[in-house]
Amino acid sequence: MDFTYINKIFDELNFTDEEIKIVKSVFRKVKIKKGDILLKAGDLVNYQYYVVDGCMRTFHVDKEGKEYTIQFGISDWWISDYTAFFSGGKAILNIEAIQDSTLYRISREDKEYMYSKMPKVDHFFRVKLEKAFTAFQKRILINLSKPAKERYINFIETYPKIEKSIKNYHIASYLGITTESLSRIRKELS
């Protein structure tokens, strides 16, 4: 693992040489091509991924085959099927690469090992998890209570760098609207 990415992943932490060795021993670099599936519903979820570059999408497919985008993972974001990752169960979500991407993965066991050796990392991940939980809760509230136009505005504020590089149906499925509604909203805003 390149030391610069240790600094990027753990942007607020300083490590000793021994701690750097531990971090390097538990993270693995993963390169994935646009269109490839990183995780399929039904798979065991052994890893959490840090996105270095590119764009990933977490989505659910219902019984009728309709896709619901749950999350986009862009540079400096974490992505996984967290329900399965934390419970040890099987994935209910899929993860695909929307762009060629570079990730670093870590297993639950390796995270626990790092926590035991480096308590500051435990604290670091707890804070990240709290922020992620807050963001998901806000997203749920926005989707339940805000009109589609406000959801779209929130989306472009959250993901300003990727809106132009992903497909309209991905954005529409994230917002819970049709692609036609998305086009209408964009026209209104331009």
Q: Indicate the domain borders of the chain.
A: 3-116
pLDDT-derived band at 3, boundaries 50, 70, 90? low
Two tokens at 38? 């990183």
**Residue 146, pLDDT above cutoff 70:** yes
Q: Which option is the CATH number for 3-116: 3.30.450.30, 3.30.470.10, 2.60.120.10, 3.40.50.1370?
A: 2.60.120.10
What pLDDT, on the 0 to 100 scale, is given for residue 12? 80
For residue 171, the tally of other CB atoms under 10 A from its CB is 21
Lowest model confidence (mean pLDDT) among 10-14, 147-151, 174-178:
10-14
What pLDDT, on the 0 to 100 scale, is given for residue 1? 54
pLDDT, the chain, mean: 91
Q: Which residues pair with 169 in a beta bridge?
A: none
- H helices of the chain, in order, are 3-9, 17-26, 82-87, 108-117, 119-145, 148-158, 168-175, 179-189
Q: What is the mean pLDDT of residues 100-118?
A: 95
What pLDDT, on the 0 to 100 scale, is given for residue 116? 95
Share of the chain above pLDDT 90, in %: 73
